Chain A
Amino acid sequence: MKPILELRSLSKAFGGLQVIQDLDLVVGAGQIVTDDDPVVGQGEAVADLDFSLKPGEIVSVIGPNGAGKTTLFNLITGIYEPDSGDILMDGRSIIGLSPEQVSNLGVARTFQTLRVFLNMTVKENVMAAAYGNTKVGMWGSVFRTPSARREEKQISDLAESKLSFFGERLMGYRWDQPAYSLSYANRRRLEIARAMATNPRLLMLDEPAAGMNPAETHEITELIGQLRDDVGYSILVIEHDMHVVEGISDRVIALDHGVKIAEGSFEEVATNPHVIEAYLGAGAAGTK
């Protein structure tokens, strides 16, 4: 069976951008895991990255701020094109596809900088994401044909079931409230529900626990586990909170300056001297 997602020596630089501060860390880390010498040019956000994801597993991406984690997500979903390397979904390259095409192949994501549809209701946010899996045309909607009504009901049910995943938090009267009225934690939940409504196989979560209190963080940890166990998604998650990472990860990869410096179980990565060095080198603030 082919993996859902496979990255092959992926590289991306933002021209003229000088992001790298601790070059020695990058070079030192790069020798450990990659087969070929990583080309660590200045401004490489993701340098020669090599890892793959098997169905139904949770892989966490960790690394200090600016390590290139979000850029990695942006490359996969088609916001940027890589300079070199390949991204395969089910063995087929998805390089050059638009975010819309990638999402229709079954990749859904959330955003680190929350991007809910603020002036739409909570339920509409989720319903909107069913676009790619529904087909009633404009005229069908204008005339409310029987098939349009049927499909609308399905979309509505889908949204309700996705929202019910979060217990009481996004239920009942909340459905009809505008998304801007939600707290930050609830917006993060709403983004996950919205991503689920695209019917993905791969779910990519960018810092799902950011801005949450310890109780909420615990809750979201359980939830991500459930998403894999009950729904069967493969999940790629960026997270700073080491308790979350420890709680959910089947595998962890650590990035620093866009270079994979460690890969393995949580214990292996957490005790890896390069990882510890990367975090301390980048300053304690990054580790939270």
Chain B
Amino acid sequence: MTAPDETGIGVDEWVEQSEGRREGHTGFTAPARRLFDKLTPGSRLTLFLLAAATYPFLVRGSDVRIGITILLLAMVALGLNVVVGWAGLLDLGYVAFYGFGAYFYAIVASDQLPAHWPTWIAIPIIVAASALLGALLSLPSRRLVGDYLAIMTLFFAQIFVELVRNFERLPFVPDDLNLTGGPNGIPGVKPFEFFGFEFNGQELLGGTLPTFSRQYYLVLVFLGLLIVGLHNLNDSRTGRAWRALREDTLAAEHMTMPVNRLKLLAFAVGAGIAGLSGALFATVQNGVFPNNFNLFVLIIMYAAVILGGSGSIPGVVLGAVAIAYVPELLRDPTKAGLLFYVGIAVVLFVLVRRWDKIAATVGGVFVLGLVVRFFSSRIWDESILGEVNDTSLSRLLDDWVLNFESQRDVITSYAFVLAIVGVLLVVLATGWWKIAALIPTLYLAILVWENKLVFQPSITRQLLFGAVLVVMMAVRPQGLLGTRRVEIM
């Protein structure tokens, strides 16, 4: 009947252990986690906003755009988090509401229509219309759960893109009306303007604050307000009901919660946030195009929510930062290299966890490098190896890992295969054997990286991004700041 199952969850000993784990986070991130736990939500937000506010001063002008992308992703992911993370509804049509908000703004604030609505009127109307659309679209899918809901909503997402692409070909649309601009989208969208205060203009503060920075702060303000509102909502009657719905719909229904109305509300709130984010996106980009709202964008949104920790507001924001920033980081080979070595360090900490073993591994890899360097100069000549005979200390450090002059492809291919074998051995081995397997594996990985991957940025980007995601998910399946999820009956 209710005998404790094998996992031991729910048995008193397990409970005690769990309490022990709660008290002190273990591992190398413990101090940071403890500090994070100590902060109040208000001070966390303040710290985040302060840090975010300094960003435009730290980077060059156009790099601020990356910041804008990050903040917008955080906003839209927070809306998705309401639907998926809190209410537990797998909504794959979410990107359509983002697109709806963006196109709505682009149409009423460009030369598509003579209307030219002022921003402060357009934004609230767009939010309301998106929320309404969200509620309406949730009606037919109200009774659906899980996979069925996912398929149904995915259909909406696809319909939306097709609709804006082919709007003028629709049967009931007059020939001369091309509202959405078809595949070409809508360029020339008016900037965000607040009672004469233009966020794209040149004159603000004597021109000391560039356009990108202004837009950045605009989105940051919206994000801050959104975080506060959602935080309050999460800790309220409605937020608890959503989460109860996610945990056990039937039980929630028995505990006085109107399940259908709550689902509808979750869809509407999520869609409203998506619409707002979309409108901001349109002002920032000064235009909208069908491809801004395709399924890849949806995947990015989901990745931010899942990576950060579905259900957690700080988690989702952090997830958005990671998802939007890592690919940018990988564009630049030096930064990509940095990320590679940081990644190796993280893997080392996670796999090994003991300082003596970590030191042994690092030392081992270094010595192995020197040994390989010494012996390979006996086997191969300079046409392959390049200059390696200089044994001065600085040259040793510089050329610590072999950098082939020719036959690079053949050698790195072998090294790659060997590295894969090494990974398998590392996974299988335990104790010091693990370290023994880890040393050559790391060396081979670095060899492959230095000889091949740095020269192929685009492949490397995707590879590394994928690897980062895989490592993160393996290390923290609940997401960066998410809390552990248990699903058993």
Contact = CB atoms under 8 A, between A and B. Distances in A.
A113 B489 contact: yes
Contact of A100 (B9, B238, B258): B258
Contacts of A152: 235-237
B236 A124 contact: no
A33 interface: no
Interface stretch (A52-60, A86-94, A175-183, A272-280): A175-183
B145 to A, nearest CB: 16
A136 interface: yes
Nearest to B239: A141
B271 to A, nearest CB: 14
B242 to A, nearest CB: 9
A109 B256 CA distance: 11
B244 A128 contact: yes
Contacts of B9: 180
Contacts of A79: 250
A208 to B, nearest CB: 12
Interface in A68-126: 77, 79, 98-100, 103-104, 108-109, 111-120, 124-125
B253 A100 contact: yes
B196 interface: no
Interface stretch (B11-19, B107-115, B147-155, B201-209): B11-19
A132 B256 contact: yes
Contact of A180 (B232, B238, B486): B486
A238 to B, nearest CB: 12
A98 B253 contact: yes
Given A141-B233, A183-B12, A187-B10, A117 B257 contact: no
A284 interface: no
A166 to B, nearest CB: 16
A108 B10 contact: no
B240 interface: yes
A99 B15 contact: no
B470 to A, nearest CB: 24
B251 interface: yes
B229 to A, nearest CB: 5
**Residue of B10, B229, B241 most packed against chain A (CB within 10 A):** B10
B192 to A, nearest CB: 23
Contacts of A114: 2, 489
Contacts of B239: 141
B243 A120 contact: yes
B247 A118 contact: yes
Contact of B250 (A99, A120, A177): A99
A78 B258 CA distance: 14
B236 A141 contact: yes
B252 interface: yes
Interface in A132-178: 132-134, 136-138, 141-144, 148, 151-152, 155, 177-178
A231 to B, nearest CB: 17
A115 B484 CA distance: 18
Interface string A178-197: 10111110010000001101
A131 to B, nearest CB: 5
Contact of A117 (B232, B236, B243): B243
Nearest to A188: B2
A154 B148 CA distance: 39
Contacts of B2: 113-114, 184, 210-211
18 contacts: A99-B253, A103-B254, A112-B1, A117-B244, A117-B252, A118-B488, A119-B243, A128-B244, A138-B269, A141-B238, A142-B232, A152-B236, A180-B486, A181-B19, A182-B10, A183-B10, A197-B255, A211-B2
Which 8 pairs across A and B sit closest by C-beta, in order of nearness?
A132-B256, A141-B236, A117-B247, A180-B486, A129-B255, A115-B251, A211-B2, A128-B240
Given A127-B240, A128-B257, A211-B3, 6 more contacts: A103-B256, A114-B2, A119-B243, A136-B237, A152-B236, A181-B18
